[in-house]
Amino acid sequence: MGKRKIDKQEAIERYRNGESVAKIAKDYNVSREAVYCILRELNNFEKLTERLGKQRREKTVNKYTEYYNDIYELKKEGMTIKEISNAMEIPYKYVKLALKGTDLEVSKKARKERNERIFRLYKSGLKQRQLADMYNTTQTNISNILVRHFKDKL
């Protein structure tokens, strides 16, 4: 099937109504770039794209909020984010988002704070095995954290 001529007004209207560039391009059998070329002619293209992107993200996030308590409980039981994502058939990034701001958050900042707590507890006399039990992980993982992040302080 050959390329269809793009109806510029229709493409712009569809985009304004929240349809993705990929979907519009697919329907016209053209590249996404061809659609973007039309959209960039709009005076408010950047603001429109920003607003629509925010709306799409909010819609997607709201779609998964009903699962937040279940996600939290599964993580508390020791499942990894990937395991939760697979078990509940929810995208990985939304599982992470559900845990954001909780005591189970797994961001770099949260991981760094956890590692520092582990180091302080280790220096205060707790054994690696005790720390592993506290943090629901293996003694090997605790050892790796101490060696990788604090070898100069041990």
**Confidence check: pLDDT of 2 > 70:** no
pLDDT band for 66, please (50, 70, 90 cuts).
confident
Residue 57 domain flag: no
Q: From CA 52, how far away is CA 62, in angstroms rounded?
A: 15
| Domain co-membership, 69 together with 91 | yes
pLDDT tens digits along 83-97: 999 999 989 888 988
Identify whether 123 is part of a domain. yes
Does residue 56 lie within any of the structural domains?
no
Contacts of 110 (CB under 8 A, 6+ apart): none
Cα–Cα distance list, 72 to 32, 92, 109 (Å) = 38, 14, 19
Lookup: tokens for 98: 């559900």
Confidence of residue 152 (pLDDT cuts 50, 70, 90): confident
Question: What are 106's two structure tokens?
Answer: 């797994």
Is residue 16 domain-resident? yes
Is the model more confident about 38 or about 103?
Answer: 38
Within-domain flag for 53: no
What is the domain range of residue 88? 64-99
Q: Is the pLDDT of residue 13 over 80?
A: yes
Number of domains into which the chain is organized: 3
Tell me the mean pLDDT in the region 49-62: 80
pTM as predicted? 0.44
Q: What is the dihedral of CA 115, 120, 125, 129, to 10 degrees?
A: -10
Q: How far apart are CA 82 and CA 70, in angstroms?
A: 14
In-domain check, residue 1: no
Percent of the chain past pLDDT 90, that is, above it, reads: 44
